[in-house]
Amino acid sequence: MDYYHQNSLPHAAVTERGQLTAREMLNLMRDHVWEIAATTAIFLMLAGLYLLIAPKIYSADVLVRVDPPEQNALGIALQNQETLPPPAPSPVTEMAVMRSRSVLGPVIERYRFDVSVTPQAIPLLGDIAARFATPGKPAAPWLGLKSFAWGGESVQVGALKVPRDLEEEKLTLVALEGGAYELRAPSGDLLVEGRVGAVANANANDVSVLIKQLVARPGTRFTVIRWNALDALKRFDDLVKVTDKVKDSGLLEIEYSDKSASKSAEVANALGRQYLATAIASRQANDTQTLAFINGELPRLLADLKKTEAALKSFRSSSQSMQPGSEAQAYLQGGLDLDKQIAGLQLQRTQLLDRFQPGSRWVQSIDTQLEQLKAAKAQFDNRFGGMPASERESVDLLRAQKVAETIYLGMVQKAEQLQVRRASTTGGAHIVDPAIVPYRPVKPKPGVVLPAGLALGVVSGMLLVFMRRHVMIGVTDPQYVERRLSVPVFGEILFSQQQALLNPNSSGATRKPLPAGGRSSLPFQRGGARLEPLLSGNRVDAADPFSTGSNRILAARFPHDPSVEALRAVRTAMARELVHTPNNVVMVIGPTPSAGKSFVAANLAVLHAEIGARVVLIDADMRRGHLASFFKQSNREGLSEVLAERMPLRNAVRRTCIDGVSFLACGARPENPAALLMKPHFKEVLQRLGNQFDLVIIDTPPFLAVTDASIMASEAGASLLVLRSGMQSEEEIADTVKKMDRSDGRIAGAVFNGIPLRPSTRNYGYPTNYASDFGDVETTK
């Protein structure tokens, strides 16, 4: 049966080390709630600053209705006619037209969107100053920086022409006295000088500029960029938004955004008017093309009409006039309708061949309908095969004359309509609702920016806490050790303000009596008679256990401190573990320096003496040991001299000011402490001390820094792992546990030391209050 708690690093601990449980996350957030609140406040301030300095963007829109085009451009009424070209334009097509160069280009040129002028200002500071400036009234310079803009400046460029190599380059416009200005190249060379309202030319470098308005203090600088035509179009297109207001309704909305509310409405209306002008020009061009086709066909159609009239007249004069019967009337009317449709389709086919190839789907659609109509006409004619030949010929001639007359008159009427419409200023679209000047900006939106800043602040604060936990600081939650490394936590010790007063520079601490108690049978006492402890003649007077020799022992000076109460819980847990260990040697280890090993070891020694145990405390850190300072003793004549066999053990073990606590200092610093610890004499020393005392407590050097603790690990019946909150990383703790296992060490449990008082640790105050109250009642008795 395995009687000791031997710990090995589980594989699951490595894979789960970076994860957090819900409880750990909640405690982490509670402990750092003020950091999260501060981060959130900073982000809210940044959001407010953004709302203050961000330019306000206004948006205006104009509603345009697009009318479907006429399907029969020739104006010939046909029955049972399928959909003919040109097809009705889709909203996507019209939206593309609205964003085309033919629509955007004239607006860009009119409002000079191909030229950008930006005041040169100090970032952030200039934005804040401009926010409070009055438009058209340049603000006074801050900090004497006169060359920078501070708000209220205004520049309007009427024209700017530069050579190709200066396009999209940052030119500098400098305002001078009396409305004068100068334009300089990026290199600082002067390009042109001029005055407001007059065109300034520089023939030497092919630069010309017209400044219509310049409101600025003399010396103020502006950055001027003349954009390439394509880049200007793209920049302007990004500010224009075209949407289908209602699907398939023909209602399209043109929206434009600008820093100026009035300009946004003005440009939106200009876009709507330019689209109408483009639509009118397109319709006029189509009407002109159709009219030219009709005028070209009218002579032929007139000749066909005269020819059919002459043939009909000749036939009637050569034959007897007769009244057509009912069958002839039916033949005439039915054939007349079919002939009109065939003639109309043939005219449309002729018109389409001017724009499309014979194999196009538009021409093929006409051909398909012609074939269907011709087949229907042939079938219709076969029904009247029994009519007399003369009567049928008369009806055919009459039908041909009426078809020619209908086609000709329809074309003449359409030509007259096209002439009138071509002269009009209406197109296939019209403005339903013109844009009006907006009064409320669309950007930035406080209802969006502030909640976004709040959410981003909370998330950033939480991320900052997580980053500090995993990267910048060590482990702060004892649950990590217990749940992920399978090492039980015997105690969680809060940071003690009283211990801070007990450092060598502190004085004036109030003394309290050490609780009395007789020696009793202890659970870790071994069987057999105990020998008298080995003690040297160098001893401290034990009459006053609270003399200056013990001024750093918290358990002796403040026995009811919360940290001492937690250490008593550690003492109890250690007592249960020592029942099953092979010896009574307890080694106190820590992964890194400043974990608090010496503090825990010294106070555990006092607390075991409190219940009547005889304890020897060994400072095994022969490199930088300072445990003797807790008892105001010297490090000389200690463990290093004993292991080097320069001093007998009896002379090295000292009595302290605490009754029941003996002490073996680290001794003089040897050249190779690890070599001394590997000698068999070290094991003999521990065996002798274990036989003489109820408990042997060893304070060791940092485990990961040197090999001394790993050498001693196998000689101790149990080891106590001391960790300091936020001091060791997860990797350092895991490496310590792993190397202890490889060294055949036995970690009985861990102590989490130096925990700061946080919301998640408020419950630790309960034992303190309870102990204090109990102590007060006991004192009253």
Q: What is the pLDDT of residues 294-307, one digit of tens each?
A: 788 788 878 887 88
* Tokens (6 digits) for 110: 């009119």
Of the pLDDT bands very low, low, confident and very high (cuts 50, 70, 90), residue 497 is low
Whether 216 shows a pLDDT value over 80: the answer reads yes
Beta-bridged to residue 170, according to DSSP, are: none
Whether 288 shows a pLDDT value over 70: the answer reads yes
pLDDT at 766: 44
**DSSP letter assigned to residue 513:** P
Of the pLDDT bands very low, low, confident and very high (cuts 50, 70, 90), residue 615 is very high
Taking a C-beta distance cutoff of 8 angstroms, is the pair 520, 780 a contact?
no
Name the more confident of 376 and 689: 689
**DSSP letter assigned to residue 462:** H
* Tokens (6 digits) for 341: 């449709």
* Tokens (6 digits) for 679: 């000698």
Whether 383 shows a pLDDT value over 80: the answer reads no
Of the pLDDT bands very low, low, confident and very high (cuts 50, 70, 90), residue 170 is very high
Q: Is residue 160 within a helix (H) or strand (E), and if so which, with residue range?
A: strand 154-161
Q: Any idea which residue has 């007059």 for tokens?
A: 198
pLDDT at 120: 92
Whether 545 shows a pLDDT value over 60: the answer reads no
pLDDT at 514: 36
User: Using CA atoms, how far apart are residues 15 and 6, in angstroms rounded to an integer?
Assistant: 21
**Mean pLDDT along residues 341-356:** 70
Helix, strand, or coil here: 202?
strand
Whether 678 shows a pLDDT value over 50: the answer reads yes
First to last CA, the chain: 49
pLDDT at 326: 59
User: Using CA atoms, how far apart are residues 449 and 54, in angstroms rounded to an integer?
Assistant: 11
pLDDT tens sequence across 232-253? 999 999 999 998 887 767 788 9
- DSSP state letters, 282-334: HHHHHHHHHHHHHHHHHHHHHHHHHHHHHHHHHHHHHS------HHHHHHHHH
Please give the domain boundaries of the chain with CATH numbers for all domains. Answer: 64-271 (no CATH), 475-510+534-780 (3.40.50.300)
Name the more confident of 120 and 772: 120
Helix, strand, or coil here: 251?
strand
Of the pLDDT bands very low, low, confident and very high (cuts 50, 70, 90), residue 563 is confident
User: Using CA atoms, how far apart are residues 81 and 347, in angstroms rounded to an integer?
Assistant: 14
User: Using CA atoms, how far apart are residues 498 and 638, in angstroms rounded to an integer?
Assistant: 30
pLDDT at 236: 92
pLDDT at 632: 83
Name the more confident of 503 and 127: 127
Looking at every residue in the chain, the average pLDDT score rounds to 78
Of the pLDDT bands very low, low, confident and very high (cuts 50, 70, 90), residue 724 is confident
The dihedral through the CA atoms of 563, 564, 569, 572 has a sign that is positive
Whether 781 shows a pLDDT value over 70: the answer reads no
* Tokens (6 digits) for 186: 């990026």
**Mean pLDDT along residues 71-77:** 50
User: Using CA atoms, how far apart are residues 362 and 369, in angstroms rounded to an integer?
Assistant: 11
* Tokens (6 digits) for 511: 């003394």
Nearest in space to 494 (alpha carbons), one of 722, 725, 755: 755
User: Using CA atoms, how far apart are residues 45 and 36, in angstroms rounded to an integer?
Assistant: 14
Name the more confident of 648 and 69: 648
pLDDT at 97: 86
Of the pLDDT bands very low, low, confident and very high (cuts 50, 70, 90), residue 271 is very high
Find out whether the peptide bond into 86 is cis, omega within 30 degrees of 0.
yes
**Mean pLDDT along residues 101-120:** 92
User: Using CA atoms, how far apart are residues 452 and 48, in angstroms rounded to an integer?
Assistant: 11
User: Using CA atoms, how far apart are residues 308 and 397, in angstroms rounded to an integer?
Assistant: 7
> In degrees to the nearest 10, what's the CA dihedral of 548, 553, 559, 564?
170
pLDDT at 387: 63
Residues, the chain? 781
**Mean pLDDT along residues 588-609:** 90
Is 30 buried (19+), middle (13-18) or exposed (0-12) by CB count in 10 A? middle
Of the pLDDT bands very low, low, confident and very high (cuts 50, 70, 90), residue 520 is very low
Helices (H), 525-627: 554-557, 562-578, 597-610
CA-based radius of gyration for the chain: 51
Taking a C-beta distance cutoff of 8 angstroms, is the pair 676, 682 a contact?
yes
Whether 388 shows a pLDDT value over 80: the answer reads no
Whether 74 shows a pLDDT value over 80: the answer reads no
pLDDT at 529: 36
Whether 4 shows a pLDDT value over 70: the answer reads no
pLDDT tens sequence across 310-326? 887 777 777 655 555 55
pLDDT-wise least confident of 305-319, 328-342, 545-559:
545-559
Nearest in space to 436 (alpha carbons), one of 269, 595, 307, 301: 269
**Cβ neighbour number for residue 304 with a 10 Å cutoff:** 18
Find out whether the peptide bond into 444 is cis, omega within 30 degrees of 0.
yes
CA 246 to chain CA centroid, Å, is: 34
Residues 6+ positions from 185 with CB-CB distance below 8 Å: 166, 169, 171, 172, 191
Of the pLDDT bands very low, low, confident and very high (cuts 50, 70, 90), residue 516 is very low
Name the more confident of 36 and 504: 36
**Mean pLDDT along residues 146-164:** 90
pLDDT at 40: 93
Residues 6+ positions from 89 with CB-CB distance below 8 Å: 66, 68, 69
What φ, ψ does residue 518 adopt, rounded to 5°?
A: -80, 165
Taking a C-beta distance cutoff of 8 angstroms, is the pair 685, 649 a contact?
yes
Of the pLDDT bands very low, low, confident and very high (cuts 50, 70, 90), residue 692 is very high
Q: 33 vs 38, 39, 44, 462, 765, CA distance in Å?
A: 9, 10, 16, 9, 20
pLDDT-wise least confident of 306-320, 385-399, 542-556:
542-556
Whether 635 shows a pLDDT value over 90: the answer reads no
User: Using CA atoms, how far apart are residues 772 and 35, in angstroms rounded to an integer?
Assistant: 33
**Mean pLDDT along residues 395-411:** 77
What φ, ψ does residue 368 adopt, rounded to 5°?
A: -60, -45
* Tokens (6 digits) for 315: 């036939």
pLDDT-wise least confident of 364-368, 681-685, 751-755:
364-368
